[in-house]
Structure 1
Amino acid sequence: MKKSKTNKKERFVAVRRNSDGTLKEFKSNSGKVYDYEMALEAVEAGKIENAIPFTGRDGARHIRGMNDGDESTNLTNLKEF
């Protein structure tokens, strides 16, 4: 039985920052641009393979890169677009 290609996850490959340096937009490998809220929804739905959601000390939901020991998967290390 063949696997459906609709299950293929996207990856974040670039980011855009606010003036204070916080991440505000994400660009996926398919070229789609997500604002932070859309990105968080996609991450929480399991549609992004290199990011996970977490609840911060402020009680709000946030996005972080996979904690796999690879610095290239750290979202703050992604190139700017």
Structure 2
Amino acid sequence: MKKEKSKKQSTKFVAARRNSDGTLSEFKDAEGNTYDYEQALEAVEQGLIENALPFTGRDGARHIRGVNDGDESTNLRNLKEF
């Protein structure tokens, strides 16, 4: 009998920290875990974060954006600071 691999639970980003230029640099999820930008991007690309999507910017680099659901409160730029 095969053992099932435990599936990682998905979560949401609930807070963010910004650099001095205003760009998002760190995130905190609903479980209290913190991620630097690269860790957050990896989690988003793995489908572990419900309210964010990865995308390739005009600069050719991978970035994170909020899910476009029409609700401004879910925009990543509107997350509370931590």
Q: Same fold (TM over 0.5)?
A: yes
Secondary structure class of the residue paired with 1:27: strand
1:53-68 maps to which residues of 2 (within 5 A)?
A: 53-68=54-69
Matched residue type, 1:58: D
Task: Identify the residue that residue 18 of structure 2 maps to in structure 1.
Answer: 17
- List gaps (5 residues or longer) in structure 2: 1-5
Deviations 1:19-47 (A, max 9, x none): 00000000000000000000000000000
Deviations 1:17-75 (A, max 9, x none): 00000000000000000000000000000000000000000000000000010111100
TM-score, reference length from structure 1: 0.91
- List gaps (5 residues or longer) in structure 1: none
- Work out the CA distance in 2 between the residues paired with 1:40 and 1:71: 21
How much does 1:8 deviate?
2.8
What percentage of aligned pairs have identical amino acids?
A: 74
TM-score, reference length from structure 2: 0.90
- Work out the CA distance in 2 between the residues paired with 1:9 and 1:36: 17
Aligned residues: 77
CA RMSD of aligned residues (A): 1.2
- Work out the CA distance in 2 between the residues paired with 1:65 and 1:47: 13
Matched residue type, 1:24: S
